[in-house]
Amino acid sequence: MRVLSGWGRFRVLWAALAISMTIGFTIQLLGASFQKRLLPVPWAPPPRAEEAGEEDEGGPPSPPAAPCQPRKHLVFLKTHKTGSSTIVNLLHRFGDARGLRFALPARYQFSYPSPFQARRVKGWHPKGRPFDILCHHMRFRLPEVQKVVHPDSFYFSIVRDPVALAESAFSYYRGVAPAFRRAGTLPAFLASPHHFYQPGERGNHYARNLLWFDFGLDPPASPGSAGIRASLEGLERAFHLVLLTEHMDESLVLLRHALCWTLDDVVAFRHNLRSPESVYTLEPSTAARLRAWNYLDWHLYTHFNRTFWARVEHFGYARMAQETAMLQKRRAELIQRCLQGGGPLEPGHIADERIRPFQFGQAPILGYALRPGLAPEDQEVCQHMVTPELQYKDLLDAKQFPAPLQGNSSQLGAVR
């Protein structure tokens, strides 16, 4: 047998070491590459009841999982023209039923379109108690929001395809957005948007990249995708969940499990609906121009579309189908029990002003009328489900900040 000399053994060892280092370095590079491609999914639904105690192969049953506790500290970024009023209704109902404290604006928005400021919250004090729920229109600014709410608050929002959003925004804000007002019609605006649009002009934030604006983002300082990607990564860190308007039922199922709420907590009627006759039918070429004009919104929407479906996949498609069917069945039961006419109505058919939606923009905003003769236990549930956002906000305001009794001020004034 041949015996290697000292120098020969050294060369073999050196070659083996070099090969090992090369393999290790290659694996490290591949691992980093794979990590960059993975969608971050920081949230996971709690286990189903039937999964608790499920036996592993060849082992004893696992101990049952501890029941989750309903989350009551919530921040909802209410974006424009995304169906967000429907989400606000269920938040109003949930908080109202449990006596939670809402961070309320003096009127109906937090000085929008200016960025959110803690001092704009009614009753807020730097050393006061934090509020439980923040859910009214604002331009998001995380450091200011954090001054108002609990540190463990759950942050979520909702986004919509920018094509449908922009069509809705044109109908609703044509009177207040100078760019829309000058153009007169959506096709005229899209034929030459730069002719009508002036950046920074008051009201023109409604005319371009409205989602991007509501999330508190500024246009990237330089062209290219790096600035857009950095902004979206920042939102990914701030928000636990972002819902999709086009998949509202699936969104409500994910929200229900993320918050550990009951089915009835997330059943809602659609609010702030336009009359269907007012919706402008878009040609494919028009949709493409809207997407290009609102390119930042398109980046934001596609990003959160991907994260949404990653969560659905994690949740389970079969489970999702089952739970959306349950949600739809329960909503149909409540429609049958509560609503006169079985659905949304034109405002002229809603006699009760307490539940008639505020009218704004070019198209009628639909609402609901209650069936006459409801049983007392149904009356309260149904009334809360159909109460529009502005009227419900006023009810919450009156509860949190009751008006002083008549005569109290004069009696107090007499005390020295």
| pLDDT digit string (tens) for the chain, length 416 residues | 444 444 444 343 444 444 444 434 343 433 433 333 333 334 444 444 444 444 444 455 656 666 899 999 999 999 999 999 999 999 999 999 999 999 999 999 999 999 999 999 999 999 999 999 999 999 999 999 999 999 999 999 999 999 999 999 999 999 999 999 999 999 999 999 999 999 999 999 999 999 999 999 999 988 788 999 999 999 999 999 999 999 999 999 999 999 999 999 999 999 999 988 888 889 999 999 999 999 999 999 999 999 999 999 999 999 999 999 999 999 999 999 999 999 999 999 999 999 999 998 778 999 999 999 999 989 999 999 999 999 999 999 999 999 887 665 444 343 33
**Whether the Cβ atoms of residue 280 and residue 68 lie closer than 8 Å to each other:** no
**So what's the pLDDT on residue 44?**
44
Number of H helices, E strands in the chain: 17, 7
Chain-centroid distance, C-alpha 233: 17
pLDDT score of 222 = 81
Burial 343-374 (b: 16+ CB within 10 A, else e): ebbeeeebeeeebbbeeebebbbbbbbbeeee
Question: 70: burial class by Cβ within 10 Å (0-12, 13-18, 19+)?
Answer: exposed
CA Rg value for the chain: 27
Pairing of strands 365-366, 273-274: antiparallel
pLDDT at 405: 73
E strands, 60-107, in order: 74-77, 102-103
Q: pTM score, two decimals?
A: 0.83
- Give the single-character DSSP code of 115: B
Q: What are phi and psi of 76, to 5 degrees?
A: -115, 115
Dihedral Cα 131, 74, 100, 388, nearest 10 deg: 110
How many C-beta neighbours within 10 Å does residue 124 have? 17
| Predicted local distance difference test score (pLDDT) of residue 362 | 75
